[in-house]
């Protein structure tokens, strides 16, 4: 931990007292008496000792000696009392001066009055301040499932077998309907928390809804698309007609009684090319990790099993997937509702729904979990399109891929990467079997299956009856997380098609210099923290430090677009209709597919505008621009606020990325985690109670990460003050107090590791403040019993 900044150190200046010292009025008894009137002065001069003893009687001499002793004792007493008074006054002066300098502005601090600071000040005034409300700041405010003094020792994240850094989480069993409301309420609470993803979406919302700057043509189209998405009245008025018209363009379907008996591969090619719909398999573009390790940046078409609409579960005994029996009834009901909304005759609904479920169940047999395929070596299997055609002949692979990636030249000798070849073989066999079932030739089950998948793709653009049906099914399956607000869905849909536009807008509004500065300062503090850890051996330390040394941390900016003119040209063929979200959404799907096509030929990695955590690419540690948006970060904020919020989050992210190298090789992680937990048990008066659980390895790890991240951010801020002593403040708070107050606002960040934090991260302020001189006031809860002095972790 770095030294306390100078403005927090009391400047002692003891002034001389203007009052006379108490002992100045006292005089010691005379050692010599004046000579008697008739006494010879010469005698006195030559025989002083004799005259003294002879002129004073014995009893008078003893009395004077006693008086002198008493006076001396009184003098010593008064001197002692005076010294104590001075010491007490000095102590009071130090405390009073230290408190005043903590609570009020110093001469070097000025108030930040920018609009961003004014909004931040309003937020701080509505949040709990750990220094004025020390009994409340560590309470359980992030979620209802945390450990609390009244929860009987319930462990947060109980039942989770391991940390997500170390292994993949297992599938969560369906929740009861009674739990749905609780989860929705929690979602509403979490929407109010300044977690990074919600903050970024809200910022993009404000950007799309702003009318201060008109922007380029591409920007106006993005805003028009977003606006049409919000226009639910027009969506409700349009109803199902736009979808039915689209189905007719695809040759109709047997459900409506009008079907042109189109070829399965011709319909599949259209769905893949124009509507980004992949009924029988999924499609993506990416690198081969085996080649990436050798520096190759070539990208391949990657083919995987699809996201089946029917709910399935993995049977570990048979090593096969199967439809979940208890969910078939609600799934059947939802399919019937969809057909009813699309105007299908009641007499034929059951036939088409039955064949759809039967076909889906057969395809699901060969779908396997990712962990299973990884253990069997089924991921990243490369083969030519010609070889794939021989393995799964029911699909015209070359024709479908050429249509999807037109105008890129593809041949049967081009390589693709398979992630589940056994599924492709099984899927081809099932399609061939259903094509040869003469009794079902008039009902077109394969074509109906593809239309159902198209309906699922276009569901966001249809009226609320479809989304309500989908949500009811989720509730029945125990998967509902609540209905997101419309604006949030619209922001996400806009990003799918206009990601380059939003990326360009975000890049122009990001304070690059300030963001780069805090990234570099936090990374430097992080490296300093690594050197102070207790390592098992120096070889391990050198290996980790060498890896960290070659990392290049920087802001993740894009090189795809260099001008507004390029953006306008890219979106020149897009026509946005203000009152037809469906037609706009269809164009979005086409844009989405064009982006996938472009990725196949590009060598640079496209930025992910919705990313809010850093990523490692080779030796580069990239921090997305979405991390540096208000209210989490602003260039006009006091640096104390920026370091307390985004500085802490950056440090936490870096530690999670490098964590595997640290956790297994340093005892510090275990020791510090237990030390912080001991603080928590003591302050909450749970120490010594029966039933209070000890921390798991994953929990100790997460406690150490967040505690260390707070220390790293504070150290980086102190270092920045040494380099640039001037800083502003808000709400009249001292620098360190503003740092901690800002941190306490975002300690509930919703990241993948949140479930492993057994206490409110804001409690870490208490542990840091246990180190004398760091905090402006002592954090003690007056209604708690006096706690023993806590050690420094």
DSSP 532: H
398 occurs within a structural domain: yes
DSSP 415: E
Structure tokens at 376: 């069997």
Q: What is the pLDDT of residues 146-159, one digit of tens each?
A: 333 333 333 333 32
Rounded CA-CA distance 783/779 in Å is 12
Answer whether residue 2 shows pLDDT above 50.
Answer: no
Interval 707-723 mean pLDDT? 95
How many Cβ atoms from other residues are within 10 Å of residue 575's Cβ?
12
| Domain containing residue 533: CATH number | 3.40.390.10
More confident residue, 786 or 609: 609
Q: How far is CA 261 from the centre of its chain?
A: 50
Burial 14-52 (b: 16+ CB within 10 A, else e): eeeeeeeeeeeeeeeeeeeeeeeeeeeeeebeeeeeebe
The predicted structure's pLDDT at residue 772: 61
Report how many domains make up the chain: 3
Q: What is the pLDDT of residues 623-661, one digit of tens each?
A: 999 999 999 999 999 999 999 999 999 999 999 998 777
Q: Environment class of residue 450 by beta-carbon count within 10 Å: exposed (0-12), middle (13-18) or buried (19+)?
A: buried
Say if residue 19 is in the same domain as residue 99: yes
Lowest mean pLDDT among 139-153, 325-339, 692-706: 139-153
The predicted structure's pLDDT at residue 358: 95
Say if residue 301 is in the same domain as residue 450: yes
Helix (H/G/I), strand (E/B), else coil: 615:
strand
Answer whether residue 18 shows pLDDT above 80.
Answer: no
The predicted structure's pLDDT at residue 291: 84
223 occurs within a structural domain: no
The predicted structure's pLDDT at residue 109: 73
145 occurs within a structural domain: no
Say if residue 544 is in the same domain as residue 456: no
* Spatial CA neighbour of 591 closest among 612, 570, 609: 570
Rounded CA-CA distance 271/250 in Å is 9
Q: Which of 462, 483, 499 is the last residue of a domain?
A: 462
The predicted structure's pLDDT at residue 87: 67
pLDDT-derived band at 145 (thresholds 50, 70, 90) equals: very low
Residue with tokens 């079907």: 259
Say if residue 450 is in the same domain as residue 524: no
DSSP 439: G
* Spatial CA neighbour of 389 closest among 353, 413, 361: 413
234 occurs within a structural domain: no
The predicted structure's pLDDT at residue 762: 84
Answer whether residue 413 shows pLDDT above 80.
Answer: yes
Q: What is the pLDDT of residues 184-242, one digit of tens each?
A: 444 444 444 568 899 999 999 999 999 876 678 999 999 999 999 999 999 999 999 99
Q: How far is CA 431 from the centre of its chain?
A: 44
Number of helices (H) and strands (E) in the chain: give both, helices first: 30, 13
Say if residue 385 is in the same domain as residue 525: no
Answer whether residue 58 shows pLDDT above 50.
Answer: no
pLDDT-derived band at 69 (thresholds 50, 70, 90) equals: low
pLDDT-derived band at 82 (thresholds 50, 70, 90) equals: low
The predicted structure's pLDDT at residue 193: 54
293 occurs within a structural domain: yes
Lowest mean pLDDT among 366-370, 558-562, 783-787: 783-787
Rounded CA-CA distance 212/292 in Å is 45
Lowest mean pLDDT among 81-85, 294-298, 564-568, 609-613: 81-85
The predicted structure's pLDDT at residue 38: 40
Percent of the chain with pLDDT over 70: 73
Say if residue 438 is in the same domain as residue 519: no
More confident residue, 702 or 193: 702
Q: Which of 73, 103, 133 is the last residue of a domain?
A: 103
Helix (H/G/I), strand (E/B), else coil: 728:
strand
The predicted structure's pLDDT at residue 143: 41
Answer whether residue 669 shows pLDDT above 90.
Answer: no
- What does pLDDT average to over the chain? 80
Q: Which of 103, 123, 155 is the last residue of a domain?
A: 103
More confident residue, 160 or 505: 505
Lowest mean pLDDT among 89-103, 338-352, 353-367, 368-382: 89-103
Say if residue 324 is in the same domain as residue 431: yes
The predicted structure's pLDDT at residue 592: 86
Say if residue 264 is in the same domain as residue 382: yes
697 occurs within a structural domain: yes
> Where does 109-216 have alpha helices with state H?
115-126, 177-192, 196-209
Q: What is the pLDDT of residues 526-538, one digit of tens each?
A: 999 988 888 877 8
Strands 299-304 and 727-729, how do they pair? unpaired
Interval 292-305 mean pLDDT? 85
pLDDT-derived band at 160 (thresholds 50, 70, 90) equals: very low
Report the predicted TM-score, pTM, of the whole model to 2 decimal places.
Answer: 0.77
Residue 638 near residue 112 (C-beta atoms within 8 A): yes
Question: Which range has the top average pLDDT, 44-58, 714-728, 770-784?
Answer: 714-728
Say if residue 449 is in the same domain as residue 536: no
Say if residue 653 is in the same domain as residue 542: yes
76 occurs within a structural domain: yes
Strands 615-617 and 727-729, how do they pair? unpaired
Say if residue 445 is in the same domain as residue 516: no
Say if residue 249 is in the same domain as residue 353: yes
Domain range holding 14? 6-103
793 occurs within a structural domain: no
Residue 117 near residue 730 (C-beta atoms within 8 A): yes
Answer whether residue 362 shows pLDDT above 80.
Answer: yes
How many Cβ atoms from other residues are within 10 Å of residue 182's Cβ?
12
């Amino acid at each position: 931990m770095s030294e306390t900044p100078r403005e927090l150190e009391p400047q002692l200046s003891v002034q001389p007292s203007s009052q006379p010292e108490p002992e100045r009025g006292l005089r010691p008894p005379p050692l010599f008496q004046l000579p008697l009137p008739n006494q010879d002065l010469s005698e006195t001069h030559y025989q002083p000792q004799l005259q003294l003893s002879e002129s004073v009687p014995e009893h008078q001499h003893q009395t004077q000696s006693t008086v002198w002793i008493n006076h001396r004792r009184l003098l010593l007493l008064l001197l002692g009392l005076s010294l104590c008074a001075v010491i007490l006054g000095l102590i009071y002066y130090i405390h009073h001066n230290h408190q005043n300098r903590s609570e009020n502005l110093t001469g070097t601090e000025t108030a930040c009055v920018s609009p961003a600071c004014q909004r931040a000040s309003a937020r701080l005034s509505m949040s709990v301040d750990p220094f004025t409300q020390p009994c409340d700041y560590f309470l359980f405010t992030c979620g209802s499932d945390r450990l609390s003094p009244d929860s009987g020792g319930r462990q947060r994240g109980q039942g989770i077998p391991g940390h997500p850094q170390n292994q993949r989480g297992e599938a969560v069993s369906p929740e009861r309907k009674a739990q749905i409301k609780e989860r929705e309420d929690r979602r509403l609470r979490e929407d109010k928390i300044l977690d990074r993803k919600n903050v970024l979406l809200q910022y993009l919302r404000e950007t799309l809804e702003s009318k201060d700057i008109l922007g380029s043509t591409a920007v106006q189209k993005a805003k028009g698309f977003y606006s049409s998405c919000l226009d639910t009245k027009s969506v409700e008025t349009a109803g199902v007609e736009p979808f039915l018209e689209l189905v007719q363009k695809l040759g109709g379907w047997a459900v409506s009684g009008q079907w042109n008996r189109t070829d399965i591969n011709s319909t599949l090619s259209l769905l893949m090319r124009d509507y980004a719909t992949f009924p029988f398999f999924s499609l993506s573009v990416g690198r081969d990790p085996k080649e990436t390790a050798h520096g190759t940046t070539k990208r391949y078409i990657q083919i995987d099993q699809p996201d089946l609409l029917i709910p399935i579960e993995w049977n570990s005994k048979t090593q096969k997937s199967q439809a979940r029996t208890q969910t078939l009834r609600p799934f059947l009901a939802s399919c019937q509702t969809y057909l009813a909304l699309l105007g299908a005759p009641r007499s034929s609904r059951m036939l088409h729904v039955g064949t759809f479920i039967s076909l889906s169940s057969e395809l699901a047999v060969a779908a396997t979990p990712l962990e299973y395929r990884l253990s069997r070596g089924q991921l990243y299997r490369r083969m030519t399109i010609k070889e794939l055609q021989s393995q799964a002949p029911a699909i015209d692979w070359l024709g479908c891929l050429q249509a999807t990636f037109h105008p890129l030249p593809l041949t049967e000798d081009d390589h693709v990467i398979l992630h589940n070849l056994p599924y492709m073989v099984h899927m081809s066999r099932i399609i061939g079997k259903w094509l040869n079932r003469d009794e079902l030739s008039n009902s077109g089950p394969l074509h109906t299956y593809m239309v159902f998948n198209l309906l699922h793709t276009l569901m966001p653009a249809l009226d609320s009856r479809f989304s309500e049906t989908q949500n009811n099914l989720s509730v029945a399956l125990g998967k509902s997380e609540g209905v997101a607000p419309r604006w949030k869905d619209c922001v996400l849909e806009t990003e799918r098609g206009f990601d380059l536009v939003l990326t360009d807008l975000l890049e122009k509004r990001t304070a690059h210099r300030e963001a780069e500065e805090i990234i570099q300062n936090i990374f430097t503090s992080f490296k300093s923290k690594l050197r102070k850890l207790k390592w098992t051996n120096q070889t391990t330390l050198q290996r980790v430090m060498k890896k960290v040394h070659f990392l290049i941390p920087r802001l993740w900016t894009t090189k795809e677009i260099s001008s507004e003119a390029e953006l306008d040209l890219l979106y020149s063929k897009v026509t946005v209709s203000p009152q037809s979200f469906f037609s706009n959404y269809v164009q979005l799907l086409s844009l989405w597919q064009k982006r996938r096509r472009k990725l196949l030929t590009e060598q640079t990695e496209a930025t992910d505008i919705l990313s809010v955590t850093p990523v490692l690419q080779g030796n580069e540690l990239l921090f997305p621009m979405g991390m540096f948006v208000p209210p989490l970060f602003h260039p006009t904020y006091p640096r104390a606020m920026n370091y307390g919020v985004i500085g802490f989050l950056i440090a936490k992210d870096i530690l999670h990325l490098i964590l595997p190298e640290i956790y297994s090789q340093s005892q510090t992680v275990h020791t510090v985690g237990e030390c912080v937990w001991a603080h928590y048990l003591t302050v909450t008066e749970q120490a010594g109670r029966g039933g209070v659980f000890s921390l798991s390895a994953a929990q100790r790890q997460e406690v150490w990460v967040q505690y260390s991240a707070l220390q790293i951010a504070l150290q980086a801020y102190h270092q920045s003050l040494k380099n640039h002593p001037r800083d502003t403040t808000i709400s009249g708070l001292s620098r360190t107090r503003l740092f901690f107050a800002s941190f306490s606002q975002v300690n509930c960040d919703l990241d993948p590791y949140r479930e492993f934090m057994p206490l409110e991260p804001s409690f870490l302020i208490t542990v840091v403040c246990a180190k004398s001189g760091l905090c402006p006031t002592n954090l003690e809860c007056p209604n708690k019993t006096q706690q023993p002095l806590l050690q420094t972790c």
